[in-house]
Copies of this chain bind each other. A is one copy, B any other.
Amino acid sequence: MSKLPPSPVAFEPEFVAGMKHIFEDQIVFNQVIGLRITDLRPERVSARIDMRPQLVGHPAYNRLHGGVISAGLDAMGGLACLAAIGARHMDETPAQRLHRFAKLGTIDLRIDYLRPGIGQHFDLTAEVLRLGSRVASTRMELHGPDGTLLACGSGAYIVS
């Protein structure tokens, strides 16, 4: 899916740890859905959600609630923006770059639900299609354990 060439930028462990702390610990609702970052690169970010009983949507089936999918893909789009912004400002300290998160906000979001979210875990990815000075556009995907595309999304974010 990636539209940008791999970036030569490699994030410092301090920046990666800071990003994980914000997304996995400080954003309480990300804890509720169990979102854990698995890879963090300037051009693409990845995360995983393990299936749990409280994430079930449809009572007749054991499938992931659409709201977990939209919440997870929204968070991933924001994470991709922050990674892209971080790579653009490598002249700043990790703390300065992490501070840019405070100004990030979702403008709007589209989610396409393609197939039922059934599985023990789900892998989420996101990439930035365009990073402007004020707005970023992202594309996100959610895959099942066997790699099947279950949902995808597009988002617009305020950045600075």
Contact = CB atoms under 8 A, between A and B. Distances in A.
Interface of A: 1, 3, 22, 26-33, 53-60, 65-68, 70-72, 74-75, 102, 105-115, 129-130, 134-135, 137, 139, 149, 152, 154, 156, 158
A98 to B, nearest CB: 11
A112 B137 contact: yes
Q: State the number of copies, please.
A: 4
20 contacts: A22-B59, A26-B59, A29-B68, A30-B65, A65-B71, A67-B70, A70-B71, A70-B109, A70-B111, A105-B113, A106-B113, A107-B112, A108-B110, A108-B112, A109-B113, A112-B154, A114-B137, A129-B149, A134-B135, A135-B158
A102 B57 CA distance: 11
A95 to B, nearest CB: 14
